[in-house]
Amino acid sequence: MDMDTHKLIIIGSGPAGLTAALYAARANLEPLVIAGLTFGGQLMITTDVENYPGFPEGIQGPDLMQKMIAQAEQFGAKIIYEDVTKVDFSKPPFQIWVDTNLYSTKSVILATGASNIWLGLPSEEKLRGKGVSACATCDGFFFKDKEIIVVGGGDAAMEEALYLTKFVKKVTILNRSDKLRASKIMQDRVFAHPKITIEYNKVVEEFLGDEKLIGVKIRDIKQARAEERATEGAFIAIGHKPNTEVFQGQIDLDQKGYIVPIDQTKTNIPGVFVAGDVRDYHYRQAVTAAGMGCMAALDAEKYLGADQG
Amino acid sequence: MFDVIIIGGGVAGFSAALFCARRGLGVLVLGKDIGGQANFTDQIENFPGAAPIGGFALISSIKAQAEAYGVKFIQAEVSKIKLAAQAFTVTAYGKQYKAKSLILAYGKTPRDLGVPGENELKGRGVSYCANCDAPLYKNKIVAIAGLGDIAADAALLCSKFAKKVYVLSKTDKLIAHPSLVKAMLRKKNVTLVPFVQIQQILGEQRLSGLGLINLKTGQHYDLPLDALLVELGYVVDSQISKNIVKLDEQEQIIVASDQSTSLPGIFAAGDATNRIYKQAVISAGEGATAALACFDYLMRQQGKHGLTSDWTQIKRVKS
């Protein structure tokens, strides 16, 4: 049991959380970062980051996150690699549990980001990491010269498919309707690529295999017909969802589960702030998240200052 | 005709340029200088992910990153923005440039102290740029007017050169970040002078000192000096935006959460906006958001699908 009441706890450790930690630490708020068991956020599964300002040569996502962690720690942020299991924001000090460990804090910054959405099939869960993936940039290399499938019809799916063509022999995109949702520029690139074919009105019903993926069962929704097709790799790219399960009922969320921001980083609860992809489904860039993390820390600092009179 | 003209060559402007160019837009950046206010900081240690770096060096690297994707930069001060059907015309140093959209990222200019003698002695002992002038203060006695981060930064910088640095405060403390104040007061040649107000800047051809009043005792006295650094923050010089986009009372551009202004097709980012916090990483984030919102606007103008995410590799113009 951690008995002290912290000034500030930051939940999440992507660019938003770690930038908040950096600024809060520099302001002597002695922030505690509850980073999560899978820390670092979506950049940990991103290879070349070419659009983070100040890195003209580009940087690997995990390298950038290691730099941010080191920088936050250098200024005194404390980081623990645990998952938050329960929160109580009903009144200050706010209560945050990691299993049975309770942390109490005067202010909180929520920066838990967003994660990939999965199809939700039992066979998908069984074969995750064994041929079924949601991250072409992490796992694409393992499918060198194979024929693989990509599930989805938005920009993310097009990007995954195009990225995978660097390694694989052939990519088949399975799209559940008769039209892609992706932007024209991305569609044009996919249509023009000799390694990519698109099949419409197709959904995956089951992933086949025990130890590793050997094929998928595909249903044609127009023809009401199913077929099995051999493949060793399947990439799911049907979008992202905010990581807010643990905050449900504690703070205002929108229909999609994103935290509703007020004036950038405030929420409906004074003392609870928000930054990054967990409140932003439009821009979702490392640097936009970092900018918001900075604002959230400064807002928290101001809130704590007012609190102390 | 450019897709977008970005006015301002600081963090916000070049970050916006980078994200616009990666979307394939034709981008021109017009800036009176390169660096903006970051120039005034000799070491930025709070830009996330970056090793401690000089303000100018950081912005030069973002500029290089943007230029690698085809961004064009011209060093020129914009004096006029004109609206015409479906296009904006921007005048800078007598030349005209046209674009379908604008991103205003021109930041701020240093604020005046507003006391007698100031206008007459600007550039003659009264300075607004520690980074530019601190090396000139070798073995001199200088005072800093200001209480915030930039004042503490300026005092730290001056302490490397000057014989004596006075930091003048109307109260008995500064409002700068505690870590900066601590570092500043650790310097032997820096002294915080509490409860004083500057009433007059003294000197004929050059600054010779300050006329001060002690706010506790009401006593007037003169402080002999070689130079005064005015570090009171910055004000927006929004002359070019007046009557074009909506401004607040401080002449800051009013922006929505997507960095759009009151006029469709014009976006704004960084210190020129009405956001309260002024930090490099916030400006960079706002620049990126403005760029993506601007791209979305231009695509929709053409009846195309708007914003997509930006994870893909895009071919560079230069290596």
Cα–Cα distance list, A231 to A171, A221, A278 (Å): 10, 21, 34
The most distant pair of C-alpha atoms in chain B lies apart, rounded to whole Å, by: 70
**The two structure tokens encoding residue B224:** 């002999």
HSE of B114 in the Cβ direction (CA atoms, 13 Å)?
6
Q: Burial, A62: exposed, middle or buried (Cβ in 10 Å; 0-12, 13-18, 19+)?
A: middle
List the B196-203 sheet strands across, edge first: B196-203, B207-214, B220-224
Total residue count of chain B as it appears in this document: 319
Check CB contact under 8 Å for A287 and B292: no
The pLDDT score that the predictor gives to residue B305 is: 57
Task: Tell which residue, A182, A276, A281, has the closest CA to residue A240.
Answer: A281
Nearest chain A residue to B280 by CA: give it.
A291
Asked whether residue A19 falls in the same domain as residue A123, the answer is no
The 10s digit of each residue's pLDDT in B154-174 is 899 899 899 999 999 998 888
The pLDDT score that the predictor gives to residue B318 is: 39
**Best of B282, B295, B296, B313 to mutate (most A CBs within 10 Å, chain A):** B282
Q: What are the two backbone dihedrals, phi and then psi, of residue B167, each rounded to the nearest 5 degrees?
A: -110, 115
Cα–Cα distance list, B242 to A132, A190, B239 (Å): 56, 45, 5
The overall pTM is greater than 0.80: no
Sign of the alpha-carbon dihedral angle for B184, B142, B42, B73? positive
Q: How many CB pairs under 8 A join A and B?
A: 141
Sign of the alpha-carbon dihedral angle for A199, A200, A206, A211? positive
Among the options A83, A138, A155, A220, which is catalytic? A138
Q: Which residue has the higher pLDDT, A262 or B312?
A: A262
Nearest chain B residue to A42 by CA: give it.
B311
The 10s digit of each residue's pLDDT in B227-277 is 999 988 777 788 899 999 999 998 999 999 999 999 999 999 999 999 988
Asked whether residue A38 falls in the same domain as residue A73, the answer is yes
pLDDT tens for the 309 residues of chain A, in order: 556 899 999 999 999 999 999 999 988 899 999 999 988 888 887 767 888 999 999 999 899 999 999 999 999 999 999 999 999 999 999 999 999 999 999 999 999 999 888 999 999 999 988 999 988 867 787 898 999 999 999 888 998 898 899 889 999 999 999 988 887 778 888 999 999 999 999 999 999 999 999 999 999 999 888 999 999 999 999 988 899 999 999 999 998 899 999 999 999 999 999 999 999 878 888 999 999 999 999 999 989 976 553
Asked whether residue A61 falls in the same domain as residue A85, the answer is yes
Asked whether residue A175 falls in the same domain as residue A232, the answer is yes
The 10s digit of each residue's pLDDT in B8-47 is 999 999 999 999 998 789 999 998 777 777 766 667 889 9
Asked whether residue A299 falls in the same domain as residue A232, the answer is no
Q: How many domains does chain A have?
A: 2
The 10s digit of each residue's pLDDT in B80-111 is 999 987 799 999 988 999 999 999 999 976 78
Q: Which residue has the higher pLDDT, B48 or A38?
A: B48
The pLDDT score that the predictor gives to residue B214 is: 96
Asked whether residue A47 falls in the same domain as residue A64, the answer is yes
Asked whether residue A149 falls in the same domain as residue A245, the answer is no
The pLDDT score that the predictor gives to residue A147 is: 96
pLDDT at B223 exceeding the cut of 80: yes
Asked whether residue A179 falls in the same domain as residue A201, the answer is yes
CB nearest B281 (choices: A19, A27, A67):
A19
Q: What are the two backbone dihedrals, phi and then psi, of residue A237, each rounded to the nearest 5 degrees?
A: -135, 70
> Residue A184: which CATH number?
3.50.50.60
CB A276 within 8 A of CB A259: no
**The two structure tokens encoding residue A219:** 């249903």
Check CB contact under 8 Å for A290 and B284: yes
Nearest chain A residue to B21 by CA: give it.
A51
**Domain end: A190, A212, A236, which one?**
A236
Rounded CA separation B291/B3 (Å): 11
Asked whether residue A139 falls in the same domain as residue A201, the answer is yes
The pLDDT score that the predictor gives to residue A294 is: 96
Expressed as residue numbers, the domain containing A29 is 5-115+241-307
Domains of chain B: 2-109+234-301 (3.50.50.60), 112-230 (3.50.50.60)
- CA dihedral A248→A249→A251→A256, nearest 10 degrees, is 50
**Domain end: A236, A257, A276, which one?**
A236
Sign of the alpha-carbon dihedral angle for B288, B294, B300, B304? negative
CB atoms within 10 A of CB A192: 8
Rounded CA separation A93/A108 (Å): 10
**Domain end: A210, A236, A262, which one?**
A236
Asked whether residue A105 falls in the same domain as residue A82, the answer is yes
CB B213 within 8 A of CB B127: no
Asked whether residue A18 falls in the same domain as residue A108, the answer is yes
Check CB contact under 8 Å for B281 and A159: no
Rounded CA separation B22/A38 (Å): 30
CB A58 within 8 A of CB A48: yes
Asked whether residue A10 falls in the same domain as residue A109, the answer is yes
- CA dihedral B26→B32→B36→B42, nearest 10 degrees, is 120
- Name every chain A residue with its beta carbon within 8 A of the beta carbon of B304: 183-184
pLDDT at B130 exceeding the cut of 90: no
